Amino acid sequence: MISRRAVLLGGAAAGAAGFAPSALGRMPLSRDTLPRSAPVRHLALAAAEMEVALLGPDKPKTKGFCAYNGTPFLTLRAPQGTRLMVDFDNRLPDYTTVHWHGVRVPYLSDGVSPLTQAAIPAGGRFTYDVPLPDPGFYFFHPHCDETGQVGRGLVGLIFVDDPAEAKLGFDLDHIIAVKDWRLDESGGWLPMFTDEGASTAGTFGTVRATNGQVVPPRVEAPAHGDVRLRVIVADSTRTIDFGCETDEAAIIAIDGQALPPLLLSKLPDEIWRMGPAMRIDVHVRMPGPGEEVKVYDYRTAEPYLLTTLVAVDKGRRKTPFKPKALPAARVPLPDMKRATRLEYLVQTAAGPTIIAPALPADDPLAKALIESACVGSKAFWAINRNSWGAGADLRLPPPLQILKDGESYILSITNVTKHVHPMHLHGHVFRVLSSSKKTGIPPYLADTVMTEPNETVEIAFRANSGDWVFHCHILEHMDSGLMGWFRVV
Ligand code: C2O
Ligand code: CU
């Protein structure tokens, strides 16, 4: 492994040599998604290493676990319409940034080094302006050495509450965070990035866990009551096939955005496939006293038990199951009549990257590039033949496209590789229009969409000004080239 410092120094030279007059046009403006009068909450957020028992209670502890505010899966909750002003303090020994996944933040708070900010060095600070315009389930994580830092635990969750949801009367709101640990028997970390994994399906953890625990949690809920599960794949690599051992379960939100309830039992194979970063909210009706609902990942040969819901008698009577619909999502929607169609291939990297029309030296990007080096060591993947910078080549690829603020676009994404790629677009909530393989699923809103080998997926969105990356959320894929960006002006 090349040390980050060596990459950094090499990068300064490579970066400086790469700059030439730009064809990229002006820098985008940073648009706010909440009025300046929105209520503000100040939050002190620190990332640091700690020691945790990951293998189980009587097993050796693991050093170098990474967490926000000393809490694994730190969970933030705020009402819709709040602005978080986050005073972030990097107490890790490495560069980092914070990305607010799925939240429509101004792009200067998007946390992507070197595109929207320079990486924050050890001991450094940065203030993030995080408006929360949309109710739902989001999360935050670093966008610098993501494979390593997320792999060692650095993930936080955000719930943005809509007061109207209280009326739905759920008895329990319960999180299922799927995240494995890559440890040896003495609790030490194994390498998170391997060439073997990065160039195929990714490097998997050695120990499966739910909410950080290796023993699948058992959770009590009122018999005949209503549970809202908040499911997230927070793993760097793993894709799950989420399913419940009951017919009385429905998906009511995807990536935090409400949709007309989709009964799990009506979906193909009665599962919902979720790659890294994907979330769903599921309404589960509890059975009678003493009975259980088991929640599984059916993707592995032997189904993996994620969580058991145990029904306890609270005097409820049985009523017919009717999935609860959340208030409709309010994100900007694309204008399908005027949308421009763009086509992208997700592919393996073949030969050298096409090099950018480079940026002018006074562009903030040029400076940021020289100051930080959040890149992986190799490029195995590409989008339309461009790989994100890797190794000593820190130059950004050219933008996939320069888009117009407020205009609508359809991206047709074809996966021509042998592996699944959950594709995430920053700064937008898009509509998943269609898939060449999965039929019968009505269009829905999301920020990350699964693409299977030989599948074409179409998504549509209304472009919001900024520089926004578009990448695979299998973190080793992203760290080995599977990332591009759009400039919206
Ligand atoms: Cu979850 Cu580029 O991010
Ligand atoms: Cu991928």
Residues 6+ apart with CB under 8 A from 236: 146, 147, 150, 151, 192, 202, 203, 276, 474, 475, 476
- Residues touching ligand 1 (Cβ under 6 Å) are 99, 101, 141, 143, 277, 424, 426, 469, 471, 473
Domains of the chain, start order: 7-161 (2.60.40.420), 168-312 (2.60.40.420), 336-488 (2.60.40.420)
Provide the b/e sequence for 423-453 (b: ≥16 CB within 10 Å).
Answer: bbbbbbbbbbbbbeeeeeeeebbbbbbbbbe
Q: Quote the DSSP letter at residue 351.
A: S
Residues 6+ apart with CB under 8 A from 208: 180, 214, 304
Q: What is the CA radius of gyration of the chain?
A: 22
Q: What is the pLDDT along the chain (489 residues), one digit of tens a residue?
A: 333 333 333 333 333 323 222 446 667 888 899 999 999 999 999 999 999 999 988 899 999 999 999 999 999 999 999 999 999 999 999 999 999 999 999 999 999 988 999 899 999 999 999 999 999 999 999 998 888 899 999 999 999 999 999 999 999 999 999 999 999 999 999 999 999 999 999 999 999 999 999 999 999 999 999 999 999 999 999 999 999 999 999 999 999 999 999 999 999 999 999 999 999 999 999 999 999 999 999 999 999 999 999 999 999 999 999 999 999 998 999 999 999 999 999 999 975 444 444 555 566 665 555 455 677 778 899 999 988 877 666 678 889 999 999 999 999 999 999 999 999 999 999 999 999 998 889 999 999 999 999 999 999 999 999 999 999 999 999 999 999 999 999
Q: Which ligand is nearest to the CA of 415?
A: 2
Amino acid at 414: T
Task: With H, G, I as helix, E, B as strand and everything else as coil, classify residue 259.
Answer: strand
- How far, in Å, CA of 436 to CA of 438, rounded? 6
Look up residue 104 and give its two tokens: 């429509």
Farthest-apart Cα atoms in the chain, separation: 73
Closest C-alpha residue for ligand 1 atom 3: 101
Residues 6+ apart with CB under 8 A from 381: 346, 347, 348, 349, 387, 417, 472, 477, 480, 481, 482
Q: Are 62 and 56 in contact (CB under 8 A)?
A: no
DSSP 193-222: --HHHHTTT-PPPSB--BTTBSSPPEEEEE
Note if the bond before 114 is cis, omega within 30 degrees.
yes
Centre of ligand 2 to C-alpha 420, Å, is 6
Task: With H, G, I as helix, E, B as strand and everything else as coil, classify residue 255.
Answer: coil
Centre of ligand 1 to C-alpha 226, Å, is 31
Q: Which ligand is nearest to the CA of 255?
A: 1
In the structure, ligand 2 is a single-atom ion and the residues with CB under 5 Å from it are: 421, 472, 474, 477
As beta bridge partners, residue 62 has 52
For residues 464, 467, 472 and 477, what is the CA-based torsion angle, rounded to 10 degrees? 180
Closest C-alpha residue for ligand 1 atom 1: 101
Other Cβ atoms less than 10 A from the Cβ of 213: the count is 13
Q: Are 234 and 181 in contact (CB under 8 A)?
A: no
Look up residue 53 and give its two tokens: 């028992």
